[in-house]
Amino acid sequence: MGKLADKVALITGAGSGIGRATALLFANEGARVVVADFVPQGGHETVKMIREAGGQALFVEVNVTKSSDVQRMIRSAVDEYGKLDVLFNNAGMQGKYIMTADLPEEVWDNIIATNLRGVFLGCKYAIPIMLTQGGGVIINTASSAGIMGLPGSQAYCASKAGVILLTKAAALEYADKNIRINCICPGGIVTPLAGIGKPMTDVTSVPLFHQSQAMRRFGQPEEVARAALYLASDDSSFVTGTALMVDGGWTAGLPKMPAKKYAEILDSIKK
């Protein structure tokens, strides 16, 4: 039997990248998976991949910034499968690299709404279900950029730092209710969101902090998915309120790229 046998897992942003890799892994471990995404095509493709491998899945289109969408998403999971054991609030956005004084207010609002409000709404509407059924697991996607600053990504950094502290506060609130709440802090991962797909030497195509990975390589979505599986399963039964780094050592304190170099690369990206 798999580590998530007889579990129901809902994953946002599951149409690509980390979300898709996690949906496939969870299904392989026995979970019935609700694939939620803002882009229907990617979500349906993930569902197809799960079903072709013999798993169970359904797709729900969702805008995680909208309360009504998130409530409908949660209801869909419970209506279809009868419960909700695991919620992975993974949907997010990064945005372009823009200096603080140049950042439009609406861009700030959109990033904060997607990355932080979306996680809050997921927690808000999943927790009552989990309380009623006697427990559950919530995993939130934060970022190593929520620990270390990243020039030109102040909204992203702020949103992900908020996810970390939201995770810790909520974990304390429900630790004695058999609800474990943790977050994962990925570093440079090869995903459409991160914009990574070219060689590491092409400085115009990769985000700034990805170039100073201590392990000198990017991570793969499957490596983050395995961390999510750990947090979702009973292997982490005594773990709550933690921010699990999956960042190739980026936040370990090793020497980073000089600020001047960051600025030079930022300029090249903006051109």
What are the residue numbers of the active site?
A: 156
Mutual angle of helices 67-81 and 118-133, in 10-degree steps: 30
